[in-house]
Amino acid sequence: MNQHKGPRGIVTTAMGNHSAIEWTDATWNPVTGCTKISPGCKHCYAERLAERLQAMGNPRYRNAFALTLHPDQLDLPLRWRQPKQIFVNSMSDLFHEAVPEDYIRRVFEVMVKAEWHIFQVLTKRARRLAEVAPRLPWPPNVWQGVSVENASYTWRVAQLVKMPAAVRFLSVEPLLGAISQLPLDGIDWVIVGGESGPGHRPIQPEWVRDIRAQCAAARIPFFFKQWGGRTPKAGGRMLDGQEWNEMPRPSRPPARAGT
């Protein structure tokens, strides 16, 4: 993988990941299913996918998008011996109110044990995150993020910056409006993307450029995931003639398991 270093430990990668999600290598879903709580949830990709998988007879989605715990999946990262960046609960929200705190702790305990991976945890439920966080272990391989879809939800950032995570990040996806003052103090990474799927709401280039400029001024890595459209890849990923794939540098590189 070709890389070059930028400000504040930025690493820009020259090739994509193995996952369909551009900023991670793999996904791990010890929980599936969720409920909608804000405008960014309106056309949830995970809900559409869960319903499709249920129709195909996938036993993991027998409940479609109703929240379901999968304790037999808790040890999955321990079986992956090669270091990966792992998006935790791409098909749910770990901090959903219906997920027991003890179960959240079990997920974090696995992340402690699987120290050779980097875990990327993302939530819209910033208040539950802040409530539970003091009782969780926070190893250096856990990155914690919150979603911010428009200016009305920047309050989630104030909850995130209280977290003792090694990397704190924002997923500004789907970006549904201009955010002229995105709170960036204490933030290590920003992902921006447009909405995809049926009924997708269009993203405006000036919204993206403004956030990119704010990140540049604050020397924070900026990752542009997609323009969106009928499908995630319909609009491509180019912004002003290039792809923006900046990533934060981990506090320490993960070692191969058992070394």
With respect to residue 52, please indicate whether it lies within any of the assigned structural domains: yes
Q: Average the pLDDT over 208-232 and give the result.
A: 97
Domain span including residue 182: 3-247
Give residue 251's pLDDT: 54
With respect to residue 254, please indicate whether it lies within any of the assigned structural domains: no
From first CA to last CA, the distance across the chain in angstroms is 22
With respect to residue 167, please indicate whether it lies within any of the assigned structural domains: yes
pLDDT tens for each residue of 27-56: 999 999 999 999 999 999 999 999 999 999
pTM score, whole prediction: 0.91
Q: Which of 82, 191, 188, 91 is nearest to 140 (CA)?
A: 188
Look at 8-12, 44-48, 106-110, 226-230 and tell me which has the smallest mean pLDDT: 8-12
Q: Average the pLDDT over 193-221 and give the result.
A: 96
Domain count, the chain: 1
With respect to residue 255, please indicate whether it lies within any of the assigned structural domains: no
Task: Please state, in angstroms and rounded to a whole number, the distance separating the CA atoms of residues 182 and 214.
Answer: 8
With respect to residue 256, please indicate whether it lies within any of the assigned structural domains: no
With respect to residue 34, please indicate whether it lies within any of the assigned structural domains: yes
Backbone angles phi, psi at 156, to 5 degrees: -65, -30
With respect to residue 259, please indicate whether it lies within any of the assigned structural domains: no
Percent of the chain residues topping a pLDDT of 70:
89
> Positive or negative, the Cα torsion across 130, 133, 139, 144?
negative
Radius of gyration of the chain (CA): 17
Backbone angles phi, psi at 206, to 5 degrees: -65, -30
With respect to residue 253, please indicate whether it lies within any of the assigned structural domains: no
pLDDT tens for each residue of 67-95: 999 999 999 999 999 999 999 999 999 99
pLDDT tens for each residue of 137-191: 999 999 999 999 999 999 999 999 999 999 999 999 999 999 999 999 999 999 9
Give residue 15's pLDDT: 28
